[in-house]
Structure 1
Amino acid sequence: EASPAVVALVQTAANLPVVFVGIAAGAVADLVDRRLLLLVTQTCMLVAAAGLAAVTLLGLITPGMLLGFTFVLGLGATFNYPAYQALQPELVPKEELKQAVTLGAANLNLGRAVGPAAGGLLIAAAGAWLVFALNALSFVGGVVVLWRWKRPVEEVDGPPERFAGAVRAGVRYALFSRVLQGVVARSFVFGVASAALMSLLPVYAARELGLGSGGLGMLYAGIGGGAVVTAAVISRVREHLSDDRVFALGSVIVAAALVALALLRSPLAGFAASFLAGIGWLFCLSTLNVASQEALPGWVRARGLAFYLTAIAAGIAVGSAAWGKLANVVGTPATFAWSAVAVVVTLALTRVWRFDAIARLDLSPAPLAHTEGSLVEDEDAANPALVLVGYDVRPECEDEFLRALREVGRVRRRTGAVTWSAYRDADQPHRFMESFVLPSWDEHLRQHRRRTVSDAEVQAELRQYLRQGTEPEAWHYVRPPRPSLRLWPR
C-alpha cells in the first residue's frame, strides 16, 4: 500500500518515540553518565538495524514490521539525542557553540546527501536488506569512539536527584522559562508546517516525476547538499543578521522551495528545489538548535533539550500525518503549496517569542551559599520545605516592587519551588512576605546550586525598592515527621 497518507506515516513512526518518552530521556541524560548512556543507545540501534536487515533479507518484511522497526530505531534515537546535544557545550568554547551546532547538523546532512543516493543504487543492485545492514554497521564506529573516550567524571555537590523528581524539575523549568517556551513553541509550529517536505517527497518523486529509488535518493541528496552549503556560509550570514532574521530567511527559502516543487515537474527542477530546501532547512534548524542550547543552564540542559526535540518531533509527526491526509484529497503538489503558506505564516510568532532575547541572558552558575539547616536530620531531608522571605518596602515603590517580585517568583518556581505566593503584612504597613514550598529540603539545597547570574540579577533588583538600612530576611521550615500511632486513644 503506497498512498500518500501511509508513506507519510513513516515520518510519524520515526518521531513518535520522542513524543512519548522524550522528556524522560532528557531526565535520564541529566542523571547518568552521558557517555555510558550513548553507548547503550548506539548498541540498541545497532541491534534494531541488524534485525531489520535480517527480516528483509529473509523476505519477511511487511509495512507493519517496517513501521515497528522504525519506531524502535526512533526510540533509541530519542534517548541518544538529548545526551548527544547536551555534551556539545562541554566540547567547544561558548563563542564557537553556534558554529559547532551548525557543523554537527551539516555532518548529518552530508550523510543525507551521500546516503540516499548510494542507498538508491544499492537497493537497485542488491535490495533494501543491504542498506539496512550497512546502517547497522554504521553504529559500530560510534560505539568504538564512545568506548575509547575518557570523559572527565563530574563531582556532584549535595544530594543526588531521583528520576521522578528530575522529570518534575525539568517540567517546572520549562513552564516558567519564557525563552525556552518560545523555542519549544516555534520548533513545534515549524515542524508541523514544514513536515510535508520530507514526508511526501517519496510520493512526489514516484507520482509526479516518475522516479525510482535512485531518483528519490538524488532528491534527498539535493536537500543534504544544500544543507552542507549552508554550513559553509552561515557564520558569515550571522555576522550581518540576527538570529530571528536568519530564521526568517530560512523559512522564506523553504517556502520558495515548496512552491517550486508544487509548480515544476522535471527531475532537474526537482533536484534544484530540493537543494534550495536544504539551504533553508539548515538555516531554520540550526537557529532552533542553537537557541535551545543557549536558553538552558547546565543543570537542566538535557531535559530542556528534550523539550525542544520533543516539540519538533511532535510537530513533524503531527504534520506528516496531516499533510499525508491532505495529499490524499488534493494531491501532493497542492499540499506542498499549502505547506509553503504555513511555513511563512509561522513567522508571525516572532512578535511574541524572539530568539534575540536569549542573548541577553547570562546562565552561568551563581550558586547561593547553602542554608545551614542544622536541625534537619537526614531522615527529614526528603520532607517538604517551606521558605519565607520578608521585605520592608518603600511606600512609593510598592507597584514596582510587586512587579519585580513576580519575576523572582518565576525564578523560584523555575529552580524547584512547587508553589509560590506573596502576601502583605496585615499589621505592619509596607511589609511583604514571599512564601514558596519545595518538594523536599534536599530540593531546596539543589535550588541554591541552580541559580544563574541572570537569576541573581532578578533577585538583586528587589533591593532598590527596600527601605534604607533593611535587608531581605529569610526563614526556613521543614515538615516534621508524623507522630507515632497510639493503639488506644487517651
Structure 2
Amino acid sequence: MFASLRTRNYRYFVAGASVSLIGVWMQRVAQDWLVLDLSHGSAVALGIAAALQFAPTLVLSLWAGVLADRMDKRKLLIGLQTAMGLCALALGLLVVTGAAQLWHVYALCLALGCFTAVETPVRQSFVVEMVGKDQVTNAVALNSMNFNMARITGPAIAGVLITLIGTGWVFLLNAATFVAVILGLFLMNPAQLHRSPPVPRAKGQLREGLRYVRGRKDLVVVMVLVFFVSTFGLNFSTTLAVVARNVFQRDADGYGLLSTLLAAGTFLGALLAARRSTKGKPRLRVMIGGAIVFGILEIVVGLMPTFTALGLMLIPTGIAVMTFTTTANSTVQLAVRPDMRGRVMGLYMLVFLGGTPLGSPVMGWVAQEYGGQAPLLVGGIVSLLAAIVCGAVLAGRGGIRRPVGRWSRFRAGRRA
C-alpha cells in the first residue's frame, strides 16, 4: 500500500509536503474566517475571495502545463513554493499589525491564486517523475492521504489558534511551514528522477495539447465530469463556513470541526484508494460510482437538521469525494503520452479548479438567498446528474483507452 515510499526522492517530497500542507489548511480556515469578520458575515464576500483565489487557473493553468513539459519541474516548484510562502507572510503581517482590510485579502487571494495556478499542474505532472509510471497510481493515492491528513489536523489546529491568538499568527505559521517543502525539494537527487525528454520550445505547443485532448473523446468526457463535480459539488470551502456561522451559530472552532470531519472522510477515501492501487490500474466503474455516491450523499448532507448530524454525514461524503478524485486523476495521468502529460494535467487542473470562480459566487448567492445548506443540495443534484450522463457515455464508448502508437513503440524499444 505504501510502495511509492520506497523511492528516496518521493520520501523527501512527502515529508516536506506533510508539514507545509498542515499550514495551508490552517490558512484556508483562517482566511475564510477573516473574510467573514471583515465583511460582517457576508457569504457573497466569501465567494468572491474564493473566486479570486481560483480565477487565475482559468488563464494560467494551460500555460503552466506547457512550462511543465519544457522545464525542470523540481526547480520550478522551488520558486513557486517560495512565492506562495511570501503571500502568507504578507497577509499575516497585515493582520497582526491591524492594517488588514477586505481588499487586502482579495488582492493576496489573487496573488496566491496566480502562483497556485502554475504550481498545481507542475506538481501533478512531477509525481510520475519521482516514482515512475508503475507507481503513479499509488503515489497519487498517497498524496491524497497526505493532503487529507493535513486537512484533518490543519482546520482543527486553526480553529483553536484563531480563538487563542487570532488569524494573523496562523498566516505567519503557514509562511514558516513552506520551508519544509522547499527543503525537501532541494534534498532530492535529480539523477534518480524518471524524466522524459523535455519538449523543445516551439510555437503552437499549447494548441497541440488541446488538439490531443480533443482527439481523445474518452478524456473529454472525464474532464466534463470533473468540471461539473468540482465546480458545483465541491463547494465546501464556501459552504461549511456559512453553515457553521449562519445556520448553526457556531464560532471558528465549529467551522474547524466540520472541515475536520470532512477531511477524516477524505483521508479514509484516500487510504482505500491506496489499497486499490495495489490491485492494478484505476477502474471506470470506481470513478463513476464514486461520483454518483458523492452526489447522493451531498444531497443528504444538505437535508441534515442538526449540526451533529450534518458533521457525521460529512465523513462518508468525504470518502466518496476522494474515491472519485483520486481515480479520475490517476486515470488521466495513465491515459496520456508522457510528452503530453504536463499539458494534459494543466487542462485537467483547469477544469478541476477553474470552475471555482464561477461556482463560488453562484453558491454564495444561493446560500444568501435560500439558506446556508441550499448549495449542498444544488451541488449534489448537479454532481449526480453529471455522473449518470458521463458514465453512460463512457460505457457506450468502451471506457478509457491507454496511449498507443509512436510513443508506445518508442518505449517498448527502450525496454528492449
Above 0.5 in TM-score? Answer: yes
The reply on whether 1:298 has 2:344 as its aligned counterpart is no
In structure 2, what is the equivalent of residue 365 of structure 1?
407
SS in 1 for 2:234: helix
Cα drift, residue 77 of structure 1: 1.5
RMSD: 2.5
The reply on whether 1:41 has 2:80 as its aligned counterpart is yes
Return the TM-score normalized by structure 1.
0.70
For residues 109-128 of structure 1, the aligned pairs below 5 Å read 109-128=148-167
Contact 2:228-2:382 within 8 A present in 1 as well? no
Distance 1:179 1:82, change over 3 A: same
Cα drift, residue 234 of structure 1: 2.8
The reply on whether 1:142 has 2:184 as its aligned counterpart is no
Structure 2 counterpart of 1:351, from 389, 392, 400: 392
Structure 1 counterpart of 2:328, from 288, 306, 320: 288
Structure 2 counterpart of 1:108, from 135, 147, 150: 147
Distance 1:297 1:361, change over 3 A: closer
Contact 1:7-1:200 within 8 A present in 2 as well? no
Cα drift, residue 6 of structure 1: 2.0
Distance 1:314 1:329, change over 3 A: same
Letter of the 1:172 counterpart: R
Distance 1:85 1:202, change over 3 A: same
SS in 2 for 1:365: helix
Number of aligned residues: 368
The structure where helix makes up a greater share of residues is 2
Contact 1:294-1:358 within 8 A present in 2 as well? no
How far apart in 2 are the matches of 1:54 and 1:209?
31
The structure where strand makes up a greater share of residues is 1
- Relative contact order, higher structure (CA 8 A, sep 6+): 2
How far apart in 1 are the matches of 2:406 and 2:264?
37
Letter of the 1:247 counterpart: M
Structure 1 counterpart of 2:356, from 312, 316, 330: 316
Deviation string 1:287-307 (CA, Å, 9 cap, x unpaired) is 221122112211111111000
In structure 1, what is the equivalent of residue 5 of structure 2?
none
Cα drift, residue 346 of structure 1: 0.7
Contact 1:183-1:288 within 8 A present in 2 as well? yes
Cα drift, residue 15 of structure 1: 1.3
Structure 2 counterpart of 1:222, from 254, 261, 277: 261
The reply on whether 1:96 has 2:135 as its aligned counterpart is yes
Return the TM-score normalized by structure 2.
0.81
Deviation string 1:325-364 (CA, Å, 9 cap, x unpaired) is 2222211223322222111101111122359733544478
> For the pair shown, which has the larger CA radius of gyration, 1 or 2?
1
Structure 2 counterpart of 1:62, from 76, 101, 105: 101
SS in 2 for 1:160: coil
For residues 69-468 of structure 1, the aligned pairs below 5 Å read 69-152=108-191, 156=197, 160-162=200-202, 164-236=203-275, 243-347=283-387, 348-353=389-394, 357-362=399-404, 365-366=407-408
Contact 2:270-2:326 within 8 A present in 1 as well? no
How far apart in 2 are the matches of 1:68 and 1:452?
46
